[in-house]
Amino acid sequence: MKRELNVFLCAVTFLTRLPVSRFVQHDPEHLSKSSLYFPLVGFLVGATGAFAFWLASLKCSPTIAVLLSIATTILLTGAFHEDGLADSADGFGGGYSKERVLEIMKDSRIGTFGAVALWLFLSAKLLTLSEIAAQSPREAMLAMMSAHLLGRYSSLPLIFALNYARAQETSSKPFAEKISAARLALASLYVALLCVLLLERRAIVAIGATLFVAWMSGKFFERRIGGITGDALGAANQLSELAVYGALYALERPEP
């Protein structure tokens, strides 16, 4: 039990800026196994964003409340996945060979493709969630929790199915080690249960959208760079999160 708690805290330390590192016993094996808890950390991030939305909606319009919610989750994670999205957009947009794509993705500076991708994705999240919130603030909160949960889950099948694209050691390589089939199945089970609790029958659509994005992303990553990187996983996370918002908006949209 103590070991699994430490593995969970490794995931919290890696994915967020919550000050829990003092309680973590750093172990490379625990670090590599912590991907099991990525979705659970995502759920906690989404729940924090949902709480921020609820608090802001007491005094603000739905759009401003959604904006403050997004800002809260970005502060909580240190824009971790957004950074991966921007780096991936720069790399895939500006590089033609595998080596050049990976070289660009390592550059900490943001380029045109990255800036445009961030603007488009953040705008799409804001607009889609605002539309959901205008119809039902409760549904917007449920969408936030489920999308962050499923967004982090999208990394797991990619880690399971694909190889790591870089030959050299990096800070994200421990998470590119293969997740076992048993731990993937366990994560899939608790993610499905949480989604059903949050979304009921709509969970099927949200999970389906996530798996489709993960599958398409995996095919693209394998074709372009021969596998995954930490940035690629971050991009898939953002794509999956937005896909869940879009799917839920399509289900909630009233008939004209």
For residue 254, what pLDDT band results from cuts at 50, 70 and 90? low
pLDDT digits (tens, 9 = 90+) for 159-190: 999 988 876 544 445 554 568 899 999 999 99
- Beta partners for 240? none
What's the average model confidence in pLDDT over 117-135?
Answer: 96
Residue corresponding to tokens 């919610």: 69
pLDDT for the residue 28:
67
The yes-or-no verdict on residue 203 having pLDDT over 90 is yes
pLDDT for the residue 66:
98
CA 11 to chain centre: 13
Nearest Cα to Cα of residue 216 among 161, 144, 145, 147: 161
Residue corresponding to tokens 């009921």: 200
Quick one: what percent of the chain has pLDDT higher than 90?
70
- The rounded radius of gyration (Å) of the Cα atoms in the chain is 18
pTM to 2 decimal places? 0.93
Q: Which amino acid is at 114?
A: G
Q: In the chain, count H helices and then E strands.
A: 12, 0
41-58 b/e (C-beta count within 10 Å ≥ 16 → b): bbbbbbebbbebbeebbe
Query: What Cα–Cα distance (Å) separates residue 7 from each residue in 12, 19, 185?
Result: 9, 15, 17
What's the average model confidence in pLDDT over 131-153?
Answer: 96
Nearest Cα to Cα of residue 54 among 41, 72, 45, 66: 66
